[in-house]
Amino acid sequence: MARPSEFDRDEAIASAIRVFARHGYEAASTSDLIEGMGIGRQSLYGAFGDKRRLFLEALRRYSDGSLALMNEALAGGSPREAIEAALLVGLGDAEDLETGCLGVGSIVEFSRTDAEVNALNDAAATLVVAAFAARVKDGIAAGAFDPGLDPQAAGRMLLTLRSGLKVAARGGAGEDELRQAARLALRGLS
């Protein structure tokens, strides 16, 4: 009979996200993960199987959390205000490397070489584009955005911008600089 886990799985995954965000998948050693998660080697393998399974679970959890933050931001204010808020929420920063975007990091690290990572990132991207496209449609209906816009194309552009903003934040861009970039893009929707 298996022994019950002696750690909080949610906390362990949150800690693994930070380790993978700091180091990336390949460079995160088992020792880094054990230390960062505060669990033993046997617990890591018993609970998660291996480093790869842990990474996939961490990526899934990160993507779900990031989408929840975006959806919360998209729910408030005018379409323009909501999109700006969603572009800027949870970007991370250069001072805390553990706040980096696990999704963008995995795309850079794996490119299109891993089917499971691709599937997770593609599903997350589809949801982000749909969420942005819905608010773009709201903006068109309200007369705030160009009626000739393709909401799906605008949603893809906003996803690309958000990914770039995450990289810029990790590279040291400040809040004002990031907000200016978001606002410039939003002017293009008018």
Would the pLDDT of 4 be above 60?
Answer: no
For residue 1, what pLDDT is reported?
Answer: 41
Helix ranges restricted to H, 41-150: 41-48, 51-74, 79-88, 102-110, 115-141
Biggest alpha carbon distance in the chain? Answer: 63
Mean pLDDT on 115-123: 97
Contact assessment for residue 90 and residue 63, using Cβ atoms and an 8 Å cutoff: no
Mean pLDDT on 155-160: 98
Interacting residues of 81 by C-beta distance below 8 A, sequence separation 6+: none
CATH 1.10.357.10 assigned to 59-187: yes
In the numeric block, the tokens 């608010």 are attached to 135
For 36-71, the pLDDT digits (tens) are 999 999 999 999 999 999 999 999 999 999 999 999
In degrees and rounded to multiples of 5, residue 162 shows phi and psi of -60, -40
For residue 24, what pLDDT is reported?
Answer: 95
Interacting residues of 102 by C-beta distance below 8 A, sequence separation 6+: 17, 20, 21, 58, 59, 62, 63
Mean pLDDT on 91-108: 87
Would the pLDDT of 168 be above 70?
Answer: yes
In the numeric block, the tokens 């199987």 are attached to 49
Mean pLDDT on 137-165: 97
Contact assessment for residue 118 and residue 112, using Cβ atoms and an 8 Å cutoff: yes
